[in-house]
Amino acid sequence: MIGLGIETSCDETSLGIVKDGKELLSLKIYSQIDLHKPFRGIVPEIASRAHLEKINPLLEEVLEESKVSLSDLDYVAVTRSPGLTGSLMVGAQLARCIHAIHGTPIVPLCHLQAHFAVLQLEGVEPVFPVLGLLLSGGNSAIYRIPHFGKMETVGDTMDDALGEAFDKVAGLFSLPYPGGPPIEAQASLYTPESGEKDLLPPMLRNLEQDRVAFSFSGLKTAVSHLLAKQPDLSVPKVCYHFQNTAFELVERNLKRAVAITGIRRIIAAGGVLANTTLRNRLSAFAKKNSLEFFSPQKKIYCTDNGAMVAALGYYLMQQGYSKSLDFTVSPVRQETYI
Ligand code: AMP
Ligand code: MG
């Protein structure tokens, strides 16, 4: 079964062609970062216009690279939620056009869930139930996934997502946008002394023991207060402590989610998982607690991409879920894929 995946929810225009949900035939990603850089954040109107410009050339590229023609497609999977409405509509319209011409079934889906289907492309078969940890520019959350097609929220963000916190803290140091890579690079220049005390307060210290929640806007404020009080602190040292405090909350939440759900298998995904310190820390945490831990090996699979959409689409097609023209896009996440 050959499927096309279309992802246009935010600032990547991406198309992927996948065979049987696990063999990648082609993947193209156009990142809009340079367009949004001057604004230090994503501008919705710029995003949707860029999707419109890039989507047809990218379609031609993936078809050519995979030696697949539109009439060969068994399904077209497309992100329908969550995301920027104008951007989602661009991807949805391409899926509708292909359906109108070739009658190809459409699988409209939630791209957050697709992050947890990308591992099939690296040879990891899905085993359920599983906990999904998603850390990206717009989300910090843990989900219980009983099967593809359904995700229940165990804990979500109360304010800024973790990627957003990296972007904002980078702004405090006039480091470039997006802030994740330059902060990681700065932090890696610092080696803490043995027994060095945390410079920043722990996040959500008073959260009830049986709750899972993320909050990072206070961390950005704590960094700016620290810089005001101690302007001579080195950038690498502050970046190191920022990462350390942020990742401590991720680890604490994961531990609680395991205790609450009893699920000992974790898949982590999202743009922030490109961070090597975080990946190593989560792997070590899983090993220490005898948990199964998976995360995409290829960094390109951490971010939003069309291949993961095609991979999830395959599993939803197997469950008999497909649509024709009668679907809508949604800025908010749905519990099920419908
Ligand atoms: P996404 O929303 O999945 O496209 O991911 C983009 C977000 O991931 C942005 O907020 C980036 O700052 C963040 N990000 C990318 N690379 C890294 C990294 N190495 N460390 C931390 N955050 C990162
Ligand atoms: Mg993005």
Ligand of minimum distance to the alpha carbon of 270:
1
CA neighbor of 28 nearest in space, from 302, 300, 271 = 300
Asked if 213 and 174 touch (Cβ cutoff 8 Å), the reply is no
Q: How far is the CA of 206 from the centre of ligand 2 (A)?
A: 32
CA-angle at 296, arms to 142 and 203, nearest 5°: 35
CA-nearest of 97, 114, 125 to 7 is: 114
Give strand pairing partners of 81: 110
Q: Are 311 and 117 in contact (CB under 8 A)?
A: yes
Residue pLDDT, tens place only, 197-223: 999 999 999 899 889 999 999 999 999
- Taking the C-alpha atoms of residue 123 and residue 129, their distance in angstroms, rounded to an integer, is 18
Angle at 315 between CA 319 and CA 107, to 5 degrees: 80
Q: What amino acid occupies position 205?
A: R
pLDDT digits (tens, 9 = 90+) for 115-127: 999 999 999 998 9
* Model pLDDT, residue 333: 85
Model confidence at 338: pLDDT above 60: no
* Percent of the residues in the chain that have a pLDDT greater than 70, as a whole number: 99
Q: Any bridge partners for residue 290, and if so which? A: none
Q: How far is the CA of 11 from the centre of ligand 2 (A)?
A: 5
Phi, psi of 236 (to 5 degrees): -55, -40
Ligand 1 atom 7, closest CA: 137
pLDDT tops 70 at residue 337: no
Is residue 157 within 8 Å of 217, Cβ to Cβ? no
Mean pLDDT along residues 184-191: 98
Going by CATH, does the domain composed of 2-118+301-318 fall within 3.40.630.30?
no
Are 318 and 117 a contacting pair, CB within 8 Å? no
pLDDT at site 301 = 95
Token pair belonging to 113: 């869930």
CA distance 50 to 39: 15
82 lines ligand 1 (CB under 6 A): no
Nearest ligand to the C-alpha atom of residue 41: 1
Enclosing H/E stretch for 120: none
Instruction: Give the end-to-end CA distance of the chain in Å, rounded to a whole number.
Output: 22
Q: Which of 280, 303, 281, 11 is nearest to 134 (CA)?
A: 303
275 lines ligand 1 (CB under 6 A): yes
Q: Residue 163 CA: which ligand 1 atom is closest?
A: 10
Percent of the chain with pLDDT over 90: 95
Measured CA angle at 301 (ends 166, 34), to 5 deg? 50
Whether 336 has a pLDDT exceeding 90, the answer reads no
β-strand pairing of 12-19 with 2-7: antiparallel
pLDDT at 68 (0 to 100): 98
Query: Mean of the pLDDT values across residues 145-151?
Result: 94
Judge whether 9 is annotated as a binding position.
no
13 beta partners: 30
Beta pairing, strands 106-110 & 130-135: unpaired
Domain layout of the chain by residue ranges? 2-118+301-318, 127-300
pLDDT at 252: 97
Per the DSSP assignment, residues forming a β-bridge with 155 are 142
Confidence (pLDDT) at 334: 76
C-alpha dist (Å) from residue 174 to 36, 42, 177, 217, 277: 16, 18, 9, 18, 22
Closest ligand 1 atom to the C-alpha of 12?
Answer: 4
DSSP reduced 3-state for 76: strand
Report the chain's mean pLDDT, rounded to a whole number: 96
* Residue 98, amino acid: I
Dihedral class, residue 261 (left if φ above 0, else alpha if ψ from -120 to 50, else beta): alpha
The label of the residue with tokens 């080696």 reads 191
pLDDT in tens, 18-56: 999 999 999 999 999 999 999 999 999 999 999 999 999
What is the CATH topology of the domain spanning 127-300? Nucleotidyltransferase; domain 5 (3.30.420)
Q: Which ligand has the shortest distance to the CA of 164? A: 1
The arithmetic mean of pLDDT across residues 176-199, rounded, is 96
Secondary element (H or E) of residue 52: helix 44-66
pTM for this model (two decimals):
0.95
Query: Same fold for the domain at 2-118+301-318 and the one at 127-300?
Result: yes
Is 156's pLDDT higher than 90? yes
Atom 8 (ligand 1): residue with closest C-alpha? 271
- Known binding residue 24? Answer is no
* pLDDT value for 126: 86
Give the β-pairing of 12-19 and 23-31.
antiparallel
